[in-house]
């Protein structure tokens, strides 16, 4: 790669010098100047082609002699070229086959598989439509023992109109992943700018009984927060079709000198029943604690009933039915009560590079304080599409409607109703990795409208999120 950059830099300097000389000579004749520019452009393209051809020949020679990594370093920047992409595929397959060596130490096997994975990812960054390449990438992740990424790519491959024999083979890999599944873990961090951290109204003056009053709460606060989230789960096999799930999830959001800092810790434990190769259900005991501005805000203790069903190679359905008793800090005992959430969702792969997902929510909170009781219905939708040059673009939208109970009335005697909408777009750069993570930029806008004008529950906020998504 350094060799190519040096040649390209030398070529660029030479062409700039030639361009300056030709420009000076042609100043008195515009026609000659135009012809010179066209000639210069043609010569530049020809020279670049010669350099690229030379690099491809060198990569071929390295590949024939078994020097996969140097060949990959030369070919990776040329992935958009069909011949170079074909050689990159050869690099990936050669290293994938070499990793099958029975006497190979695990450290050396993983190093070889890293080259194979990088080669396949480089091809998919330039051309995400190549199903065969994604299939081999999934196999490479499987051999390395990275079952989460392997399953992700196998699932996408299944949407590629595969021959029945290939579908059966992929299903065998997916069954093996589920059978040997023990640990799952995740980690992420993000910078999160927000124009309205506390989700409060901008309205400072409100009217009560026809008279103006100034609100005494703080105006909207903007800032940039740091968000960290991590967690994991262990699956302990009790028998062939039953496992014990034990998991933890942790999240933290901090703003400089802000009362809106938030933290959360949740634990769950319970059995998972593998009903069939495509269906599983879990019954979990759950507990959670939330902090606000460094103080304990609430504790939850409850149960959750979860399920997943693969209806076909392209479609996954899931549900999560939860019930919890919520206890607030001693200063707010009137808010203690029961919380229900029922979520039904699914995901559909239209193609290996285009997927849709969505969910429906029905929620209910019943605190002791009658004014706090409400029901919520929600709809959440998202679509994600892989594009060439390593970009993935996603569009997300949600709509939630909350209806408050009879004790929470507006001035005209009607029930309070809130409607919250949210829309966001995110862009992931798949081919840019930092320690295996790729940057994803999210920009969104949220708005709540309420018919309870005296309390002025309306707000708007614009937010962002620069997070990092694991690719390797």
Q: What residue ranges do the domains of the chain occupy?
A: 1-46, 66-180, 183-470
Average pLDDT, the chain: 81
Asked which of 119-123, 346-350, 353-357 is least confident by mean pLDDT, the reply is: 119-123
d(CA 429, CA 441): 9
Cα dihedral angle (42, 48, 50, 56), rounded to 10 degrees?
-150
Report the C-alpha gap between 442 and 193 in whole angstroms: 10
Phi, psi of 66 (to 5 degrees): 85, 10
d(CA 426, CA 93): 33
- Contact residues for 187 (Cβ-Cβ < 8 A; gap 6+): 229, 230, 470
At residue 15, the pLDDT reads: 37
Identical fold, 66-180 and 183-470: no
Planar angle of CA 97, 102, 105, nearest 5 degrees: 95
pLDDT for residue 217 is more than 70: no
Q: Can you give the pLDDT at residue 19?
A: 41
Highest-confidence segment of 35-44, 163-172, 430-439: 163-172
* Predicted confidence band of residue 189 (pLDDT cuts 50, 70, 90): confident
User: Long-range contacts made by residues 286-295, C-beta under 8 angstroms, separation at least 24?
Assistant: 286/322, 286/324, 288/264, 288/324, 289/264, 289/265, 290/262, 290/263, 290/264, 291/261, 291/262, 291/263, 291/264, 292/259, 292/260, 292/261, 292/262, 293/258, 293/259, 293/260, 293/261, 294/261, 295/329
Write phi, then psi, for 157 (nearest 5 degrees).
Answer: -60, -35
The yes-or-no verdict on residue 183 having pLDDT over 60 is yes
What is the C-alpha separation between 345 and 363, in angstroms, rounded?
Answer: 14
Q: Is 37 or 340 the better-scoring residue by pLDDT?
A: 340
CB–CB of 71/64 below 8 Å?
no
Given a cut of 50, whether residue 9 has pLDDT beyond it is no
> 17 falls in which pLDDT band (50, 70, 90)?
very low
Residue 454: partners with Cβ closer than 8 Å, 6 or more residues away: 206, 207, 208, 410, 411
Q: Which residue has the higher pLDDT, 94 or 18?
A: 94
| C-alpha–C-alpha distance, residues 290 and 326, integer Å | 11
Name the residue with tokens 């993935």. 392
Considering the domain 66-180 in this protein, what is its CATH number?
1.25.40.10
Q: What is the mean pLDDT of residues 437-465?
A: 83
What number is the average pLDDT over the span 255-282?
Answer: 90
Higher-confidence position of 298 and 51: 298
pLDDT band at 64 (very low <50, low <70, confident <90, very high): low
> What is residue 16's predicted lDDT score, i.e. its pLDDT?
34
Of the options 2.40.160.40, 3.40.50.300, 3.30.470.10, 3.30.1490.190, the CATH number for the domain spanning 183-470: 2.40.160.40
């Amino acid at each position: 790669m350094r060799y190519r950059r040096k040649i390209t830099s030398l070529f660029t300097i030479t062409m700039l010098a030639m361009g300056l000389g030709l420009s000076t000579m042609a100043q008195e004749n515009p026609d000659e100047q135009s012809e010179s520019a066209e000639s210069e452009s043609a010569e530049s393209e020809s020279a670049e082609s010669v350099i690229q051809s030379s690099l491809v020949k060198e990569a071929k020679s390295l590949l024939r002699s078994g020097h996969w990594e140097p060949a990959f370093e030369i070919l990776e920047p040329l992935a958009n070229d069909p011949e170079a992409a074909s050689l990159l595929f050869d690099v990936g397959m050669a290293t994938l086959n070499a990793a099958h060596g029975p006497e190979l130490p695990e450290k050396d096997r993983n190093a070889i598989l890293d080259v194979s994975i990088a080669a396949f990812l480089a091809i998919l960054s330039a051309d995400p439509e190549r199903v065969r390449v994604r299939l081999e990438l999934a196999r490479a992740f499987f051999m390395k023992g990275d079952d989460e990424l392997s399953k992700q790519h196998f699932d996408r491959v299944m949407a590629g109109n595969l021959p029945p024999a290939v579908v059966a083979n992929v299903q065998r890999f997916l069954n093996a992943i589920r059978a040997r599944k023990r640990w799952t873990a995740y980690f992420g961090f993000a910078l999160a700018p927000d124009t309205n951290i506390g989700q409060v109204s901008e309205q400072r003056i409100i009217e009560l009984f026809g008279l103006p009053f100034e609100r005494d709460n703080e105006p909207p606060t903007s800032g940039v927060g740091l968000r960290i989230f991590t967690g994991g789960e262990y699956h302990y096999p009790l028998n062939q079709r039953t496992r014990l799930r034990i998991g933890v999830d942790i999240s933290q959001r901090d703003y400089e000198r802000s009362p809106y800092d938030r933290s959360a810790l949740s634990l769950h434990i319970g059995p998972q029943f593998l009903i069939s190769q495509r269906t599983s259900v879990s019954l979990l005991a759950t507990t959670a604690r939330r902090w606000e501005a460094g103080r304990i805000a609430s504790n939850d203790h409850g149960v959750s009933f979860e399920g997943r069903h693969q209806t076909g190679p392209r479609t996954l359905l899931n549900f999560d039915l939860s019930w919890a008793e919520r206890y607030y800090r001693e200063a707010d005992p009137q808010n203690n009560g029961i919380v229900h959430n029922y979520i039904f969702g699914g995901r559909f792969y239209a193609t290996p590079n285009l997927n849709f997902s969505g969910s429906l929510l029905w929620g209910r909170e019943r605190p002791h304080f009658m004014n706090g009781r409400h029901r919520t219905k929600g709809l959440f939708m998202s679509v994600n599409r892989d594009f060439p040059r390593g970009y993935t673009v996603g569009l997300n939208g949600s709509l939630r409607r909350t209806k408050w109970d009879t004790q929470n009335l507006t001035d005209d005697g009607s029930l309070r109703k809130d409607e919250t909408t949210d829309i966001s777009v995110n862009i992931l750069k798949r081919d840019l990795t930092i320690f295996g993570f790729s940057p994803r930029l999210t920009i969104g806008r949220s708005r709540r409208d309420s018919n309870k004008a005296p309390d002025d529950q309306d707000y708007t906020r614009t937010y962002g999120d620069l997070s990092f998504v694991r690719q390797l």
